[in-house]
Amino acid sequence: MEEEQLIGKLREKGFKVTPQRLAICKFVLSSKKHPTVEEVFAAMQKKHPTMSLATVYQTLHLLTKIGLLQEMGPSIGSSRYDPNNSPHINIVCKNCGKIEDYESESITEFWSQITGELKCKIVGQNLMISTYCDKCEKSPD
């Protein structure tokens, strides 16, 4: 998402656009690693050393609320945030916690079928498969 689009979306929803909030948004929405709150906070401390952990929590909550992020719950350890809102499967390593997105046309078709059958408003999706990544498979605990 372009910065102007992001600013427009935040303002459209009635939220202030501060330099700290914008930095958090840009970082997490461009991440491919499904960061935790602590990872976002550590990254922000480099350029915004006075930023509070509460600001990070509030911004991630706001992004989740307006549909730009999905929170992956505590079933994978600490909560992590996924900026990919397209239909996909999160492949999660049970040992190291590494998460990779798996996307394919069959998942998109499957998701379209499900959304067509359900009689409710869908506000998010999180499909997850637990496995061991290549590194952990080769060197078990």
**Over the stretch 79-128, which tens digit does the pLDDT of each residue have?**
899 999 889 999 999 888 889 999 999 999 999 899 899 988 887 788 88
Q: Look at residues 24, 42, 76 and tell me which one is the last residue of a structural domain.
A: 76
| pLDDT above 60 (res 140) | no
Per-residue pLDDT tens digits for 15-44: 999 999 999 999 999 998 899 999 999 999
Domain final position from 23, 48, 76: 76
Residue 81 domain flag? no
Instruction: Name the domain boundary from 30, 57, 76.
Output: 76
Stronger pLDDT, 139 or 51, i.e. the higher one: 51
Q: Are residues 63 and 116 in the same domain?
A: no
Task: Give the pLDDT score at 141.
Answer: 54
Question: Are 97 and 70 found together in one domain?
Answer: no
The CA–CA distances, whole Å, from 23 to 3, 36, 56, 105 equal 10, 16, 10, 33
**What's the domain count of the chain?**
2
* Domain, as residue range, for 111: 86-138
Same domain? For 64 and 107 the reply is: no
Measured CA to CA in angstroms, residue 135 lies from 55, 78, 129 at distances of 35, 21, 17
Backbone angles phi, psi at 40, to 5 degrees: -65, -45
